Structure 1
């Protein structure tokens, strides 16, 4: 294994046949990340739980838009929610998603800037 790769030994590469369920689910997850507002919401939630008002302020999108994006993310199982009094608090449902969002944004930082890629 390449020493520069950041692959957890417990989650090493598993051979999969093309067209199997992990590919379909992976494509679904990536399509959800392909929206700028949803990616910003997920990045904000990677720092910790937040309610819609906090997310709206940090993401810079209208409250109805943030609410709609949260509904899609919840339906896909990427975001969890819980009630705290009258507020609904949202959080990421999985640490893998946190790492994926971080890696996508790291790739975006390196790709157009001309910085050398990591191995």
Structure 2
């Protein structure tokens, strides 16, 4: 006797699946840029100023700011102003978990 076909998935569950896929896609696009990923890696060790990030990345302020803007738009980082300096920190636990995995897979020696 052939197996019974699966029951249809309710529309509200399909809608949640589609939204989750869209969210995952946007998240992966945000971290897929080498510069943004490097920024996230540096921020994984703690809050950094824009100037610190410029030095760590050997990049111009405009380029770093552009990537930070995208990360901020995606909700992955949060800025904090102290005088003239702006500091950024990670605010998304998904990014932290993925960075841990990326580190384990690609950055560990040995």
Give the TM-score band, short-chain normalised: 0.7 to 0.9
Q: Give the TM-score of the pair, scaled to structure 2.
A: 0.76
**Are the counterparts in 1 of residues 44 and 90 from structure 2 also a CA contact under 8 Å?**
yes
Mapped to 2, the partners of 1:106 and 1:25 lie a distance apart of 24
Q: Does 1:74 align with 2:72?
A: yes
Gaps of 5+ in 1: 1-15
Once the two structures are superposed, residues 24-70 of structure 1 have per-residue CA deviations (whole angstroms, 9 ceiling, x without a partner) of 11111111111111000000001000111100111222221110000
Structure 1 moving runs of 4+ over 6 Å: none
Mapped to 2, the partners of 1:54 and 1:109 lie a distance apart of 21
Number of residue equivalences: 97
Match of 2:21 in 1: 23
Helix, strand or coil at the partner of 1:58: helix
Q: Give the TM-score of the pair, scaled to structure 1.
A: 0.71
- Superposed, 1:48-59 pairs within 5 Å as 48-59=46-57
Mapped to 2, the partners of 1:82 and 1:25 lie a distance apart of 26
**Are the counterparts in 2 of residues 50 and 89 from structure 1 also a CA contact under 8 Å?**
yes
Distance 1:86 1:30, change over 3 A: same
Mapped to 2, the partners of 1:103 and 1:61 lie a distance apart of 26
**Are the counterparts in 1 of residues 50 and 65 from structure 2 also a CA contact under 8 Å?**
yes
Match of 2:106 in 1: 108
Helix, strand or coil at the partner of 2:48: coil
RMSD, aligned CA: 2.3
Q: Does 1:62 align with 2:63?
A: no
**How far off its partner does 1:19 sit?**
4.5
**Are the counterparts in 1 of residues 75 and 92 from structure 2 also a CA contact under 8 Å?**
no
Greater helix fraction, Structure 1 or Structure 2: 2
